[in-house]
A and B are shown apart, each in its own frame.
Chain A
Amino acid sequence: GRGWPTTPQPVATMPVSPVNSRKQQNLWLSVGPQPKKSISFTNTVKGGQTKGYLGANQSRMAMSKTLMVLPEIKTEKMNIPTVRTPIQVINALGVDVTPRPLYQQDPHMGTAKPNKLFTSQEGSYGSEYISSYSLYQNTINPSMLGQFTRSVLGSSTVSKSSVSTTDSIAEDLEEPSYRREKLTSFTDLRVMRATPEKIVTKEDLQKTIEIILTETETLRFFNLPTVMVSVESEEAAKVIRRNRTYETLCRNRLGNDLYVERMMQTINGAPKNKEVQCDKIVKEDKGIMSSTWDLYDSYNAMELSSLPTKQSMLESNTKASIVSKDHEPRVPGSTIEKNSEASSLMDIENVILTKIHDDEEDRSESIMKSDKFRQDLFFMERVLMENLFQPKLAAYRQLPVLKEPEPEEPEDFLEGEKLEQETEEEVKKEEEEEIEISTEQSTIPANLERLWSFSCDLTKGLNVSSLAWNKTNPDLLAVGYGHFGFKEQKRGLACCWSIKNPMWPERIYQSPYGVTAVDFSIGAPNLLAVGYHNGNIAIYNVQSNSNVPVLDSSESPQKHLGPVWQLQWIEQDRGTTGDDKREILVSISADGRISKWVIRKGLDCHDLMRLRRTTTSNSKRGGEKEKKGEALISRQAPGMCFAFHPKDTNIYLAGTEEGHIHKCSCSYNEQYLDTYRGHKGPVYKIAWNPFCHDVFLSCSADWGVIIWQQESTTPFLSFYPTTYVVYDVAWSPKSSYIFAAANESRVEIWDLHVSTLDPLIVNVANPGIKFTTVLFAKQTDCLLVGDSDGQVAVYELRNMPTTLDSGRGDIINTLLGPKPNR
C-alpha cells in the first residue's frame, strides 16, 4: 500500500497550463513505481525546450505550450528567495540515506548559476537530466516538476537529490522556493509513506494488525520472443515464406531506389566524472606460516564448533610463531580437542580453557590442578623410573640389556652380563652333547639375581602377607601387608604396584586392620579383593582413584569372624543350573568356614564348607564323631588355605590349622571327600601342580614341605630343609619340577629333576628379615619374594636348567623311577 497506482501507465497527456497541474499529479505519480530513478526521465514530460540539444528528450507529452509561459515563470521564480526545507531520503529499509551535499550553495548567488550550469553541462552525462530538469523547473507546471522530482528520485518520499548534482542544481536554479512551495504542498499530499513519528509502544506491538495480501496483476518485465520456430509447427510455413521474402528483399536492396543510405547523428550521452572522497582504507599485512597440521586443525575446528574455537586456534597458532608475545585473553568456553592416534591419554580436554583471565597466578594454579598436568607428571615419573631401572626392567622382561656408554658402569652389572654370556655359550655347548643339562656342568650355578624391590616409606616395617598378579595386566601386582600373629597386629595396607614404577605404588588402600589376603578378579580385572585380619573382605575398584571399597563385607551377617587367610576368585561352571561361567570369590578363614561370595547387589555369602575338627589318633575320615573323653573347645577347625583343582573347579583342597588337608567338593558342604594327613602343624599353603594335575604341594609350620599325590593320603615326598616355618610355596609356571619355598630365613628353589634332597638355589635372607611370600612371574623367569620388612624383592632366576618338554605330566613316574606301589 504505497499509494502509488501499480499499473505503469504511459505518461498521459500533459496538461498545458499550470492550473491543471495539480489534477495531473496522480498521473504523474503513476510513473513512480518504476524503481529506477533514471527511468522516469524518459517517461516524464519533456517538453520543447529552448536549447536544441534537448531534442532527443522529447517525450510523448506535449509540453510545448508550456514554453511560452516560461519566461514569466522564470522571473517569478527568480525572485523568490530560497527556502530550504530539509528533505530526507529514506530507502526501503527505513535507513536514512540522505546524501549530504558536496556543494553548499549560497542562496543569493542563485541567479547566475543556471546559465553556467546549462553551459557547463554540455557533453556530460547529466546534461540531459539537468537540462530537462531545469526545463521542468522552468515550466509553468510545478506539478510536473514535483512529480518529476518524486518520480525521478524514486520512492515515495521526496528526495532532494539522489544524485548530488540535482541538489546543487536544484539550488542553483532559481525556482527553489517556488518549487519547494509546490514541493512542500506536494509533500503533504504525496508522501504516502512517511517515517512514523509516533513511537511504537508495547501495546502497539501487541496489537493485531491486519495485513491483507492481494495478488497484483501480472507484471511483465521482459519478453523475448523466440527467433526459432520448429519446422513442424503451424507457423513454419509462414515463417519460411517470410524468410524467403526477406531474402529477396535483401537481394533487391542493392541499387534499389527504395532503400537509401542516410546518416543520422545520434546524441551520445555525455559522461561525467564524479569524484568521491572517503576515509583512507587502512591496510594491514598479516602473515602466517601455514603448515599441513595448521590447515588440518583449522578445518577440524570449523567442523567441530563455531567461530570462537577457530579464533582461539588461530590465536594459538599465531602465538606459536611469536614466542615472546604478550598474553592474549582466551576465548571463553572453547575447548580444543585434538585428534590423536597416539595411544597415550595425554590429549584430554583441557579444563583450563574455560577461564578468561589475565591473572597469571590464577592460571598457573589451574595448570597445576589440571588433569593433564597430573597425567604428565605420572608419565614423567614413569620415565624417570625407566631411566633408573632400565637394566633391571630389561632383565625382567628378558630384553637385551642396554649398555651404558659411560665408563662408570656398575661393576656387578658388568659381571652379570659377562656371566650370562659365558653361561649361554656353555649351555649351548652342552645342549649339543645331551639334552639333559645338570647344574654341575655349567661353571656358574643357578642363582637368584636380585633386580629390584618394591618398597617405599609407607610399607616400611610392615609384613608382606600376600601377593597377587593382575589377570590381564601382567605388570600390575597387588601386595597385601599385614602381620600374621595376633599380637603383632598393626595397621594394614593393600597396594597395587606397577612394574613400571618400583618406587611408589599406584594405588594405596589403607586400613586399620592387617591385610592377610589379596586377589585380582578374572572376569573383572579391575576388582581387587582384600581380606583382613578381622574377617572383613573388601572389594576395590583399582581403576578409580578412590580409597573407598566398592563392596564390603563388614555389614554382612555372615562375615568371617576370624582372619581371612586366603581369597581366590574362581570361575565356576554352573552347568547344572544352566548359567554360564560365573565368578565367585572364595575365602577361607580362621573361623573354620570356607565361604563363597557372590556379587549381586551386595556381597552374598554362602558357606561352601565348615571345617570340622577331625581327630588324628584314629584315622577316621570326615570324622564327626568325637573320641570320648576329649573335650574340644570348638568343633571348628580354623582353615588356613585352600586350592581349587585347576581342571575341575568343583574339587578343592583345604588346609587347616590342625595340619590336615581335606579334599572337598562344592557339592557337599558337610563331608570331606578325603583327608590327607602328614603335617604336624598348620598348613599354610597348598598348590596344585600346573602341569600334572594329580600332584600338589603343601607347606606347613612344622618346617616341612610335602608333595602329595591325589590318590594317596600319605605324603609322597617331604622336605625338611630347615628348622624354620615355611610360609609359602609355589610351583613354577614353566616347569613341573621346580617350585619355590619361602621360610623364615631363606628362599629355596627346588628342582625335583635335579635333586630331591637339596634345593637348587638358596637365597638367604638378611638377618632380621623373614621371607613370607613367594610368587612366580608368569612370562618371565622371575620370582617375587615378600618379606617382613615391607619389601617385595624381584629376583631373576638365572642359569636355570632348561625345562624338559617331555615328562611334564609324568613327574611322579620320573621321580619314582620304577613304579612303586604306594
Chain B
Amino acid sequence: MLGLGLPQRPPLVEETLKRIQSHKGVIGTMVVNAEGIPIRTTLDNSTTVQYAGLLHQLTMKARSTVRDIDPQNDLTFLRIRSKKHEIMVAPDKEYLLIVIQNPCE
C-alpha cells in the first residue's frame, strides 16, 4: 500500500549524473572510457578529448605513485585544485569520471 500509484523514479545512475551536472559551479562533467572516447560529456568534443588524454596520463602516474609506495593500496580519487577551478577525477580501469567545478561561484 505504500508506493503504489506513485511515479517510477528514473534509474539512479542517470539521476545522479544529472544532478551532478546541474550543481552550482559545475563547469563540465565527463565520462570517458579507457581509450579516451567520451561516453557522456557536457563539454565539446575537443575539450573532452584533451581533458581525457591529459588526465588519463596523470591518473596513471598518480596510481603508479600510490602503488609503488604500497602495492596493496590503490588510487580512488584525484582532485586538482587550481586557481580557477577544481578538477575531480574518479578513475577506474574502464573509465574516467571527470567533473570540473568552480567552487567559489
* A interface list, Cβ under 8 A from B: 291-293, 295-297, 316, 319-320, 323-324, 327, 336, 338-342, 344, 346-347, 350, 352, 360, 363-364, 367-370, 372-374, 376-381, 383-384, 387-388, 390, 404, 406, 408, 491, 503-504, 508-512, 536, 538, 545, 547-549, 552, 554
Tell me the residues in window 71-105 of chain B with beta carbons closer than 8 Å to chain A beta carbons. 71-74, 76-77, 79, 86, 88, 90, 92-95, 97, 99, 101, 103-104
Distance between Cα atoms of A547 and B19 in the complex (Å): 20
Q: Which residues from B are CB-within-8-Å of A297? A: 71
Which residues on A sit within 8 Å (CB–CB) of B9? 508
The answer to whether B20 and A377 touch across the interface, beta carbons within 8 angstroms, is yes
The answer to whether B68 touches A293, judged by C-beta atoms less than 8 angstroms apart, is yes
A-B residue pair count with CB separations less than 8 angstroms: 152
A350-B99 contact given A341-B73, A383-B88, A384-B23, CB 8 Å threshold: no
CB <8 Å contact, A291 and B68: yes
Q: Which residue of B is nearest A289, CB measured?
A: B64
Task: Please state if A342 and B76 are interface contacts (CB–CB under 8 Å).
Answer: yes
Question: With contacts A404-B104, A509-B2, A549-B2 known, is A350 near B94, CB below 8 A?
Answer: yes
On whether the beta carbons of A504 and B19 are closer than 8 Å, the reply is yes
B72 to chain A, nearest CB (A): 5
- Bound-state CA distance A709–B24 (Å) is 51
Chain B residue numbers with a CB within 8 Å of A363 are 33, 94
With A and B bound together, what is the CA distance between A347 and B74 in angstroms? 9
Closest to B11 in A: A369
Q: Determine the residue in chain A with the shortest Cβ distance to B72.
A: A339
Contact partner of B20 (CB less than 8 A), chosen from A380, A511, A549, A554, is A380
A802 to B26, CA, bound (A): 41
How many B residues touch the partner, as a band? 35 or more
In the complex, what residue of chain B is closest to A530 when comparing beta carbons? Answer: B2
- Whether A296 touches B19, Cβ cut-off 8 Å, given contacts A387-B25, A554-B1, is no
- A471 CB, nearest partner CB in chain B, Å: 24
Most A C-beta atoms less than 10 A away, residue of B56, B73, B79: B73
Residues of B within 8 A of A (CB): 1-6, 9, 12-13, 16-17, 19-20, 23-26, 31, 33-37, 39-40, 53, 56-57, 60, 64, 67-68, 70-74, 76-77, 79, 86, 88, 90, 92-95, 97, 99, 101, 103-104
Nearest CB in chain B: distance from A512 CB, A: 7
Rounded to whole angstroms, the CA-CA distance of A320 and B103 in the bound complex is 32
A342 touches B74 (CB 8 A): yes
In the complex, the answer to whether A292 meets B67 with C-beta atoms within 8 Å is yes
Q: Which of A296, A323, A368 contacts B72 (CB 8 A)?
A: A296
A388 touches B103 (CB 8 A): yes
Residues of chain A contacted by B64 (CB below 8 angstroms)? 291, 293
Known: A364-B33, A384-B101, A387-B103. A377 touches B16 (CB 8 A): yes
The reply to whether A350 and B101 form a contact with Cβ atoms under 8 Å apart is: no
From B4, B12, B40, B73, give the contact of A374 (CB < 8 A).
B12
Q: Nearest Cβ distance between residue B94 and chain A, in whole angstroms?
A: 5
On chain A, the residues within 8 Å of B36 by CB distance are 323-324
Nearest Cβ in chain B — how far from A341, in angstroms? 5
List, in ascending order, chain A residues with CB within 8 A of B35's CB.
324, 327
Residue from A291, A327, A372, A406 in contact with B67 in the complex, judged by beta carbons closer than 8 Å? A291
